[in-house]
Structure 1
Amino acid sequence: MSEPIDPELEENNNVDSEAGNDQTVDQAFSDDESLDPSAAGQPESRDEEMERLRRTAAEADKRVLQAQAEAENFRKRMRRDFESQIKFASTDLVIDLLQVRDNLNRAIEAAENSGQTDALKEGVAIVAKQMDDVFGKHGVTEIPAAGETFDPNLHEAISQMPSPDVESGKVAHVAQSGFRLHDRVIRPSQVVVSTGPAS
């Protein structure tokens, strides 16, 4: 048989229970406040957010434009390098053929000096002329030298000599003709440079 419940004791228990419930509610509100974004700092306004996004987009556009410009410069540089390689790919072949041209010209000189028939001399001269035409067709041109002012970029001085007819510092004699392939010197002219009239 259960004992009768003291009304005063039951009232105290109810008060303690209500107090516990109030503490739980207060704790719940405290936890909710910790999740409030405003507790970490002042949130940015809509205008500030829009301005930040505009700046970010402008910086991204700038980086894209810079990347595009760098890519275009790279493509142009690669195209120039490729065109240059194609343009001067025949350099070694031309240099070798120039030696053949030299020999043809020596044959013409030898024919003139030895009294060979005009037909032989003319035949060799025609071959030499054909070779010059082929060279010209492919951008190979002779470097002017005789009577020109000596230029170390175009001429290779093999000696000096006095000359009554050629000013000092100019080419008095061409020992071997020089040539360009397009705008590049592939063989400088070998020349004798005048020192002026003998004193």
Structure 2
Amino acid sequence: MAENNEKITPAEENMAAENSADQVNSVLEQGETAAGDAAAAEPVSEVDQLKAQLAEQQAKFLYLQAEYQNFRRRAARDISDARSHAIADTLTPFLSVSDFLGMAQTAAEKTDNLDAIKQGLTMIIAQFDKALEEMSVRKFTSTGEKFDPDLHDAVGREPSDTVPEDVVIREWNCGYKIGEKLLRPARVLVSSGPAAAETAENADKE
């Protein structure tokens, strides 16, 4: 079998090297061209990206705006419902009081028995007090108590030989509390002490 004794000449070797160099340069040029094209296309891509982000934010804003409007409507409805429930809870216990008043009026028109009428009024007052208790509202008595400006509204002072000074002689209107909070002060008449002592005090002032 004959061997291949052909040898590459220096000229052919140089030509092959030049061809390889040309290929490398061509690849480099193509890379630079591609890089340049990419650089030129990059600003357009950023603009598109910003537009997309802007559209996304606008969509989120519109969604939040719609949610806020829905929240306002729900809140207004909840407040209205809560007010209606509060009114209903407050007035319901007094409906029975109204019923008793109607029955008392009917009974008073049919009888001259004052005892029966008084008994009916007593029942109405008891029912009214019960309705107040259901709402944690209670009366407090002031007659015989030391005058307290936080609880009492003095409508006047009156000398008394039996009731010490600054002690409530009687109530004009009772006071009310809801829990420990004052709902209405009692309107009271307050003792100014014995009449003789008051007269002497006034004489000293003159």
Which category describes the TM-score, using the shorter chain as reference length? 0.3 to 0.5
Give TM-score, length-normalised by structure 1.
Answer: 0.43
Q: Which has the higher helix share?
A: 2
